[in-house]
A and B are shown apart, each in its own frame.
Chain A
Amino acid sequence: AQKVTQAQTEISVVEKEDVTLDCVYETRDTTYYLFWYKQPPSGELVFLIRRNSFDEQNEISGRYSWNFQKSTSSFNFTITASQVVDSAVYFCALSEAVNFNKFYFGSGTKLNVKP
């Protein structure tokens, strides 16, 4: 069965602190895709990153970085030098090769960045 777990329900940090959001997934497929989305209070999910299962290279985009480890089935997301605008709910999601657009979402982590 496919499952995504985001154990951190809510995290509060002070601006400029680094923060890591955890994501652990379960799937039997050998080919799958992992995603991170940001949901600000407006409600719209904003795409942040996609990672294919066969590409374990970590990625950095500005203050954002992602660590993908197949050995531990984890796909963690780090924000460096957090800012108030980073406050949102962050979702990790999994999809499989056959049903690519059928996403399994984690329960989300609410990030509060205080000035």
Chain B
Amino acid sequence: KAGVTQTPRYLIKTRGQQVTLSCSPISGHRSVSWYQQTPGQGLQFLFEYFSETQRNKGNFPGRFSGRQFSNSRSEMNVSTLELGDSALYLCASSLSRDRGLDEQFFGPGTRLTVL
């Protein structure tokens, strides 16, 4: 079974630009979550999508947005990039059926560098 895939793996952008990152969950998984990892703030939850609807949201500005498609693939978008947006963006997927037994599987991440 293929794992969670994220594209692209590396990205370099300049301030003010926008960027779109993609995540393909494990087949059959309906929940996709996004996390930002930086040396200063660590791993922070961005948002979760389930059945094409945002189910949870972290404390990030509106420049960070996402969506999920009917095949459960998800994209996140960051507009008006700032230097502080440089980070590893991780995507995780889960079946999201039984909380007591569910498990999130993480992708390899997209390394975004903002110059």
Contacts and interface: CB of A to CB of B under 8 A. Distances in A.
A103 B109 contact: no
B45 A43 contact: no
Interface residues of B, number: 27
Interface string A33-47: 100010000111111
Contacts, number: 60
Contacts of A100: 96, 99, 102
Interface string A67-91: 0000000000000000000000001
Given A33-B99, A43-B88, A108-B42, A101 B94 contact: yes
Contacts of A46: 106
Contacts of B104: 47, 101, 103
Given A102-B56, A107-B42, A108-B42, A42 B103 contact: no
The prevalent SS among residues of B at the interface is: strand
B66 interface: no
A20 interface: no
A101 B106 contact: no
A44 B109 contact: yes
A105 interface: yes
B100 interface: yes
Interface residues of A, number: 23
The prevalent SS among residues of A at the interface is: loop
A97 interface: yes
B8 interface: no
Interface string B67-80: 00000000000000
A100 B104 CA distance: 10
Given A33-B99, A43-B88, A99-B56, A104 B45 contact: yes
Interface of B: 31, 33, 35, 42-45, 48, 55-56, 58, 88, 90, 92, 94, 96, 99-100, 102-109, 111
10 contacts: A33-B99, A37-B106, A43-B109, A44-B109, A46-B106, A50-B103, A93-B43, A97-B99, A99-B55, A101-B96
Given A101-B92, A101-B96, 6 more contacts: A44-B109, A45-B90, A102-B56, A103-B33, A103-B43, A105-B42
